[in-house]
Every structure is written in structure tokens, then in C-alpha cells.
Structure 1
């Protein structure tokens, strides 16, 4: 890396501030049922952290398989909810009590690399054989740092599609075929906006496309959303900015500047949050962590919601609501687009038993584990074999996941933006995007946030 010492020094100063913030937040978080700060008492035990409780049973089965394959070794799994996961993980790294292996996110690993907390997998005997071709396209490549080393072993992937209430769609006269062939544009919203308007109903039963519709007295919104989308808009606006032909940064990975000031982005965001002003999109005030899109759709407060494939179980478990999914709409680029996020397992540099830990990482990335995880029907494992098993498991439950898998086959996916200072980017974009959504601030105000972000990124040069 060019300018390595200068870059590392500036970011370590930022981490010093993070230490204080983490210490304060831990006082508020308190202790859960499990103590994630505990370290392996046995040299033959590998500690592993993950955040998804729905995936825990599958990985417990993987641990059993691993232990049978490696007599004398044991895997100790700790599950911590997403809200607390990153705070406790960072705190454990500060205290030197971090797990040997943990589930990593693409927006987080750059910071951990820079803090010298991750072991390069390509330098270790058990994990150096990881090849891009072993996994769904693009998953393995995303976990290679700027230094050319691999810091994550592909674990699973997800895409975004539109969940919808079948009964509401039928009542509105909108077929599944129509929902799968929608298109949008920032001028008049296209057939997508027409459908969302049709699905919106006010207190007097008037639809959004009918005379007299009262946008200030809506009982069912055509579309629910999951807050303002912060810096990536994964389950909010990313499918629209992507299909408009916009890119987050100047490069596919490790970009040097963001493009939140570009016309394609601003016109898309202006149109998207403009749906709330028209009464078709649930207002910002309707959203909270306990009242997300799934809750709004389940309660009949909204007819549709764009969300990730990891939410299949949640949506399809709603009592009294028949849920189906549709592809994201075609955009001005003439194509569909959906973000494809891939999680990975990372090995910490100070792992107590590194030979055992790297064996566990390799096992997690193998078909032996990924097909076991796939059988749970919760996520799509990273290997093609694991994905096929997951599709079959969903089908057995009566869940059609085509809207999530087709974009991968059609190569209409794009990845999370991968850059330095991801936490800073998010911290700057969160209030800026909320201001646009909640307070109707003009999209031109995002230019200021973009300038600040790019100034920060220039320090990484």
C-alpha cells in the first residue's frame, strides 16, 4: 500500500476515539445471556461468533460435523444480535478477548484490516486454497484487501426483491405477471409508481390513482421502507439507483471517492422519497426498529416492501397474510438491478489456536458445511451446491425464491461499496438522508455530505 504508515496512523487516531465510544456504549448495552468476552479456556477450542439467531442451528450442526472430522477439537459458538454485535466485537478486540473466528460484513472488514486484527487467509495452509470459482460470482473477490491478501472466506449471500401482500394485489387488480414486469423512471415513476399508487388506500377507501384520494389520511401505503437508507440504501433505494446506472464510487472495489453528488443519484432519491410526499410511501415517522417494513406489511399498513432474502422466513411466517415476491423494477438503464451482499468468516490474528481456527474457517467455506446450512432454508450459502440445497429447502416450505436467485443468474447484481472509512461515510450520510426523507430537504444538500466524505477518503491516499 502506498503511504501505508501515514494512512495507518491517521486511522489509529480515529480508532482511539472509537475506544471511548465503545466503552460508553458497553455501559448502556450491559450483559446478555451469554458472555461474549469470554475466551476459550482450552487450547483445543475454537471460539466463533455470529449474529443471526436463525442461522445458529445450522452452524451448530456444522460444528458437530467439524468435531467429528477433527477429533480433539471443539467449536464454541456465541450468537449476539446485530444491534450489539459490532460494539461487543470491537470492544473485545480492544480488550484482547476477541473470538478466534467471526462472521464479518463487507462494510466492516476494511477497518479491521487497517487495525491489523485479521489474519490473511491466503498465507495459511488450511485456507490458502480458496478460489473465486468455488463460489457464486463476485463473492470471494470482495474479500481481498488493497494489499492483495484475502481476509474473508465466503459464507453466504443475499439479494433484494419486492415482498407483497397477494390479497391486496389481487384486490387492486394487479397480477403477479404485472408486478414482475414493472419499470420506473425519475420523471413520472413509470408503471412501478402507478402500481404503488394503485395499492395505496386512504381512510375512505379511495386508491392513490383515484379522484379525491387524501394523501394525508392513508390507511394502507403502497410501499413500506426501512428508514432512509443511510449510505448504501440496500433495502430502500439501491435497486433504483443501481437500475438508473449509478455507481457508489469511482471503482468497483476500494473506490477513492463517492458519487452522491451526481445527477443520476439525486434525481432517483428525489423521486423515491417524493413517493412519501404523494402519500404512496410510508412516512419516515412510521418507521422504527420495532416497526420495520415486515411489521407494516404484516399489519396491513403497507402492501409491498423491498427487502433482503434473509427476510423470507419472517415474511412468509406472517399469520393471515399470503406473501409473494417480485423482481425489482427495470430502471432508466433498461435493466434491473439488485444489491448482492456476501458475508464471510474472518480469522483474528491473535487466535489462540490458529491451526485449529483456520481449519474451522476452511470447513465453514466447504460444501460439507454449506449444504448443511442450506438445508435450514434461512440463507443462500456461498457455494453453488449450498445455494441449490437452500432453494430446495425453501421450495419444500412452499416459498418461491426466484425473485432473489434470478438476478444472480442474469448477472444484474452489484456489490456494497467497498472503501476505507465506511463507518465515517455512514455517519455522514445517515442524518443527510434522513433529512431528505423526514424533513423534505432538497437532494442538493447531499452534495455537502459527499464533499465531506471525499475529503475524508483523500486521507487514505
Structure 2
């Protein structure tokens, strides 16, 4: 199998390889998952003599830029890993092949995957444009040593509650985990919020339009939802009082000195780096970061579920990736066979055995849980919400890029500059105008 490096899109027709062998080109962004998909490709090629899979891996930012350029230049991959945040844009551009119209991929059934993953990849026209691949949820990673010093156990952190009035036991815990340069904790007299040594909660920027690893769990557990419908909504709810109250409370943690300030975040100083360096005691982050957090030297990491909200329920965003076929794939037949295999329990169990992500099929998920257990990693905080059905999806609507473009500066203005949350009402009106045109 040939491995393409992230050096560019390439312009040559690679549908036919040396010796008359057919090639399927496949793009993905996660370097950690590359070995697992190389293993799947090897097995696939053995099952399909004469068919090769050429995998190209590149970083997240480069990935989407080069993918968009490739559709314009006609150099797009046959198959690529897709994200629901980008999915609707590709549907609007009509560059995806409907999988339910192809003989092999039309057999994909939602029931074969974890609840909700299959439905997320259907367009407004009812066609399926993505084969479920894996999923992730959000939980609280924390430094066990710092938690123990604060008198907090894993069980304590796993039963926290919150509300937008006083923050509940969640805010109390985050405040107690916070320590200023004089050794005074955030909930003790004399705490200096201007000179903090260890923040109770790491920053991960403003959250843009979805707040996946920032405020989404709080908003959902307060009973709020992004749009008027679970999928393909036509009206956003960022102006609602419930959402504004959540955002005001969440970013208010930074004003109190418990949440690291916006300026502390950068691509090289994400939540994992802050916890790893000891400048933050805990971080809300996704299951795709399990190996990263547990791989940090000198830091014993624990995990806890997101807190129980005013509704009496927990909530965590469940994002699911998928594999899509380009509408004008050069090797359409090969692409169809490859995607059908990627969506199969066989490939997803292989991926699960690498203990990097949770594959979409139930068998694949079980394989991943077992792989993590062999490494001594408890992943209950991520899997229990799926079993309990306390998950919710990314907002899936048209105009996703425009919504992002409007919400990103609005949320950063609140976080970084202390702008009033009432400004979200105006931003929400601008967003909803997109759907009235």
C-alpha cells in the first residue's frame, strides 16, 4: 500500500496503478488513526486482488483547505473522512455521492451503529452521504494529584451538579481546584484572581458556534438546543435567555479567576498542554484526546462525566465522523467497495483494537473499550452517556460556514473582551436572516 504525504493535492490520475492495478485514493486528517487504517487497507487489498488503497494524511487545517481546492481543481480524492461541521457545505456544493444509490453502500443500516450516528449523515433530500466511522463524547479530564490535594475524589467529580445562578457543586469544585501564586484557593479568603498559578479549568477558546468542548454540555443540560429541529434546522436559538444565561455564567468563571483567560489559549497551549504543564487542574475535552492526556509524563489523569444540569440530566455532545465518496470520484466502483468495507464491523473492530477512537459499530466500540482497558484506562466517562442516551448532536443546518463566521467573533468578544451576552440576540438575528433568503 502506498502512503501519500501531505505535500499537496496532486494532479495526476491515480485511478490505475502499476501493472494494471486499480487505486482508490483516501484522505484523512488524524495521524494517530493512520496505522489503524493502514491495517484495514491491507486486509481490504487481500480481499480485493488488483485493488490498492492510497492513503493521504494531513493536519486538520490543511485538510479542509486542500479538500475544498481539490473539488475546484478536479483532483479530489475518491473517498475522504468527513465531519458533520463541514458536511452541510459539501451537500450544498453537490460534491458528494449519495451512498444509498450505490449497490454496496445502500446496504448500510442505521441499526448497525451507535444510536443517532447514521441519521446525522442524511441530507434534506433523504439521501445518505456518509458511512458512519467513529464517534466521540466530552468529559472532564483532571489531574488526580491536584484533585486529591483539594480533597476531591473521582467519585466526587463524577457527581457534580451545576446551575447558572451559583454554578452548583461544579463551580465550587473548580474554584477549590484553583490556586493563586500565594497558595490561596479560589474559594478561600484573600484569593488573588489576577495572579493565578493553577486554574481550576483550562481554556479552549470561545467555542465558536457549537461550543463542543466549552459550553455545549452546560447549555444542553439546561434544556437548550441549537435550532428548531435536531437536524437541518432553519432557525437558531443563540438569542434565547437560557443560552445567554449559560454563556454569562460559563465565561463568568474566567472573571472570577477559575477558568483560564482567553489569552492563555493557543494552538500550542491547548487544554491538554495546560493540564500537562500544571497550569490547569482540569479540562473539558473530547474522547479523541484520551491517549494524549493519559500519555503525559508525570501526570496521573482521571476522568469524570459532565455535570448534572438544571434539568436533572447530564448532557454531552456526541459527534460522529463518516466516510464520504466524491461525486466525481475517478474510481467510483473501487470507492464504493472501500467505503462499504470501512463501514463494516470487520474494519471497525480492527480500528477499535488500536485504542485511539470509538468506532461507530457496537462491535468496534467494544473492541476499543477492551483496548483501553488493557492499557489501564477507564473510559466510562465517555461511553456511559451513550448507553444512558444523554448525548446530543452537532447542529446540522445549511449555511454552516456563515453561522461559524458570525458566531466565532461574537463568542470571542464575550470571552476575551467582556462583551455583554445580550449581543448574542443581534448575532442570532443575523444568522436567522440567512434562512429567510
Q: What interval of TM-score do these two structures reach, taking the shorter chain for normalisation? A: over 0.9
CA-based RMSD: 1.0
Task: Output the CA distance in 2 between the equivalents of 1:39 and 1:408.
Answer: 43
Deviation at 1:176, TM superposition (A): 1.1
Q: Does the aligned pair in 2 maintain the 1:340–1:414 contact within 8 Å?
A: yes
Match of 2:250 among 272, 295, 303: 272
Aligned pair count? 429
Q: Which runs of 5+ in 1 are unaligned?
A: 1-30
Deviations 1:262-294 (A, max 9, x none): 011000000000000000000000001110000
Deviation at 1:448, TM superposition (A): 1.1
Q: Report the counterpart of residue 448 of structure 1 in structure 2.
A: 426
Match of 1:203 among 171, 174, 181: 181
Task: Output the CA distance in 1 between the equivalents of 2:335 and 2:173.
Answer: 51
Q: What aligned pairs does 1:177-256 form with structure 2 within 5 A after superposition?
A: 177-256=155-234
Q: Report the counterpart of residue 4 of structure 1 in structure 2.
A: none
Match of 2:90 among 98, 112, 129: 112
Does residue 168 in structure 1 map to residue 168 in structure 2?
no
Does residue 360 in structure 1 map to residue 338 in structure 2?
yes
Q: Does the aligned pair in 2 maintain the 1:172–1:198 contact within 8 Å?
A: yes
Q: What aligned pairs does 1:382-421 form with structure 2 within 5 A after superposition?
A: 382-421=360-399
Deviations 1:54-107 (A, max 9, x none): 000000010001100100000000001001110000000000000000000101
Deviations 1:187-243 (A, max 9, x none): 000000000000000000000011100000100000012100000000000010010
Task: Output the CA distance in 2 between the equivalents of 1:42 and 1:211.
Answer: 69
Q: What aligned pairs does 1:77-116 form with structure 2 within 5 A after superposition?
A: 77-116=55-94
Deviations 1:149-185 (A, max 9, x none): 0000000000000000000000000111110000000
Q: Report the counterpart of residue 55 of structure 1 in structure 2.
A: 33
Deviation at 1:113, TM superposition (A): 1.4
Instruction: Find the residue that maps to 1:163 and give its secondary structure.
Output: strand
Match of 1:137 among 101, 105, 115: 115
Task: Output the CA distance in 2 between the equivalents of 1:243 and 1:89.
Answer: 35
Tell me which moved more, 403-412 or 443-452: 443-452
Task: Output the CA distance in 2 between the equivalents of 1:38 and 1:136.
Answer: 38
Q: Report the counterpart of residue 287 of structure 1 in structure 2.
A: 265
Q: Which runs of 5+ in 2 are unaligned?
A: 17-21
Q: What aligned pairs does 1:136-155 form with structure 2 within 5 A after superposition?
A: 136-155=114-133
Q: Does the aligned pair in 1 maintain the 2:5–2:56 contact within 8 Å?
A: no
Q: Report the counterpart of residue 318 of structure 1 in structure 2.
A: 296
Deviations 1:91-141 (A, max 9, x none): 000000000000001011111112111100000001000111000000000
Task: Output the CA distance in 2 between the equivalents of 1:442 and 1:157.
Answer: 35
Does residue 37 in structure 1 map to residue 4 in structure 2?
no
> Relative to 1, partners in 2 of residues 1:57 and 1:40: Cα closer, same or farther, differing over 3 Å?
farther
Q: Does the aligned pair in 2 maintain the 1:39–1:98 contact within 8 Å?
A: no
Q: Report the counterpart of residue 9 of structure 1 in structure 2.
A: none
Instruction: Find the residue that maps to 2:106 and give its secondary structure.
Output: coil
Task: Output the CA distance in 1 between the equivalents of 2:14 and 2:125.
Answer: 34
Deviation at 1:429, TM superposition (A): 0.3
Deviation at 1:39, TM superposition (A): 4.7
Query: Structure 2 length normalisation: TM-score?
Result: 0.97
Tell me which moved more, 163-172 or 104-113: 104-113
Deviations 1:390-429 (A, max 9, x none): 0000111111000000000000000000000101000100
Q: Report the counterpart of residue 404 of structure 2 in structure 1.
A: 426
